């Protein structure tokens, strides 16, 4: 059966019919909005490589969270930029750390906004790696204890969900254990399960001041050339108790998003990362692309590939556009 019986254009000629047969609908409900929390007061410091994004002190974060919530964005994910960094990442699990303060402040003012926290050591370590370093090696098992402590301190501060992004083996189980022992058995874990060693994170590292001082993250994050390995990583994390699994980055990894969606029956998140954001912003600034059209196409495509949730710095702009 083919032309002239079939004319796919029949369903494209009219705007209303096009809308009726649309397969993917983006809504602000899909978004998780990443925020960078820093110390101080009244701070709203521009991140030069991520126009429109800021390092914000707790008071400013609350305002930002409030306006996101009003636009229908259901969740934020918090990243901390502590005042002090050391070899043990002590600020990561300080009950008075920046993230812990931000959680309390947001839950106080915007209680219905879901507060997710990024659980990782890189922002808190003087060397910028995601784990404990000894003789130039990033140690796996000793790092688990720190990650678990960090996740617990976020839960104690009132976080609704924790999201480990370090890629150490066994961290989901370690975090599930400590949360359960402490009565937080209802706090879900969103695992950065298939996280690639990507060059698309560099603007984030400026934003979070977390560039490794030596080497790179290829001994823990995945090789961008690998596809089957993503399934293995996701499977292990689900076995260890991950409630939501994430693929990161998103744009170059739509095959992975699609594979994960087809293979498993847990919600899939995709992280539209900093480098993806910055490229769009830069091209738009040059007048080479229509920013909002590109943003909507990108986010729709990430959802079409299989993402149930999208972490994106475009969340506020996209929600405004969708609410129009």
3-state secondary structure of 94: coil
For ligand PBG, the binding residue among 61, 102, 115, 130 (CB under 6 A) is: 130
Dihedrals phi, psi of 248, to nearest 5 degrees: -150, 135
Contact between residue 55 and residue 40 where contact means Cβ atoms under 8 Å apart: no
Give yes or no for residue 165 binding ligand PBG (CB under 6 A): yes
Candidates 1-9, 133-141, 200-208, 236-244: pick the segment binding ligand PBG (CB under 6 A). 200-208
Q: Is 248 a catalytic residue?
A: yes
Other C-beta atoms lying within 10 Å of the C-beta of residue 120: 28
For ligand PBG, the binding residue among 53, 81, 110, 122 (CB under 6 A) is: 122
Contact between residue 198 and residue 225 where contact means Cβ atoms under 8 Å apart: no
Candidates 68-76, 115-123, 150-158, 226-234: pick the segment binding ligand PBG (CB under 6 A). 115-123
Q: Which of 85, 101, 107, 248 is catalytic?
A: 248
Strands in 31-109 per DSSP E:
31-38, 44-46, 54-57, 75-81
Name which of 88 and 205 has its Cβ closer to ligand PBG: 205
Whole-angstrom distance, CA of residue 60 vs CA of residue 125? 25
For ligand PBG, the binding residue among 100, 274, 300, 312 (CB under 6 A) is: 274
Candidates 103-111, 147-155, 198-206, 297-305: pick the segment binding ligand PBG (CB under 6 A). 198-206
For ligand PBG, the binding residue among 114, 273, 295, 322 (CB under 6 A) is: 273
Q: How far is the CB of 260 from ligand PBG (least distance, A)?
A: 18
Q: Which residues contact 314 (CB under 8 A, 6 or more apart)?
A: 272, 277, 280, 295, 298, 299
Name which of 129 and 261 has its Cβ closer to ligand PBG: 129
Taken in order 221, 224, 229, 235, the sign of the CA dihedral is: positive
Binding site for ligand PBG (CB under 6 A): 118, 120, 122, 130, 165-166, 201, 204-205, 217, 273-274
């Amino acid at each position: 059966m083919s032309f002239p019986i079939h004319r796919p254009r029949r369903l494209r000629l009219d705007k209303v019919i096009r809308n009726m047969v649309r397969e993917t609908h983006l809504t602000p409900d899909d978004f998780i909005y990443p925020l960078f929390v820093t110390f101080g007061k009244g701070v709203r410091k521009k991140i030069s490589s991520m126009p429109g994004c800021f390092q914000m002190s707790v008071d400013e974060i609350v305002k930002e969270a409030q306006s996101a919530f009003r636009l229908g964005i259901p969740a934020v994910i918090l990243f901390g930029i502590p005042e002090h960094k050391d070899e043990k990442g002590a600020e990561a699990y300080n009950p008075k750390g920046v993230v812990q303060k931000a959680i309390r402040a947001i839950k106080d003012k915007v209680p219905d906004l879901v507060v997710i926290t990024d659980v990782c050591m890189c922002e808190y370590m003087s060397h910028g790696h995601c784990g404990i370093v000894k003789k130039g090696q990033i140690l796996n098992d000793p790092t688990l204890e720190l990650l678990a402590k960090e996740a617990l301190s976020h839960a104690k501060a009132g976080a609704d969900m924790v999201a480990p992004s370090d890629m150490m083996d066994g961290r989901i189980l370690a975090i599930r254990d400590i949360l359960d022992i402490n009565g937080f058995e209802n706090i879900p874990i969103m695992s950065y399960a298939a996280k690639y060693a990507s060059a698309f994170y560099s603007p984030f590292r400026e934003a979070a001041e977390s560039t490794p001082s030596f080497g790179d993250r290829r001994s823990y994050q995945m090789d961008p050339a690998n596809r089957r390995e993503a399934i293995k990583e996701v499977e292990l994390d689900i076995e260890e108790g991950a409630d939501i699994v994430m693929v990161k980055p998103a744009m170059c990894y739509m095959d992975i998003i699609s594979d994960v969606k087809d293979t498993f029956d847990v919600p899939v998140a995709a992280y539209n990362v900093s480098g993806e954001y910055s490229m769009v912003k830069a091209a738009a600034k040059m007048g080479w692309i229509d920013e909002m059209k590109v943003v909507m196409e990108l986010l729709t495509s990430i959802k079409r590939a299989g993402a149930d949730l999208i972490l994106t710095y475009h969340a506020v702009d996209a929600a405004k556009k969708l609410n129009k």
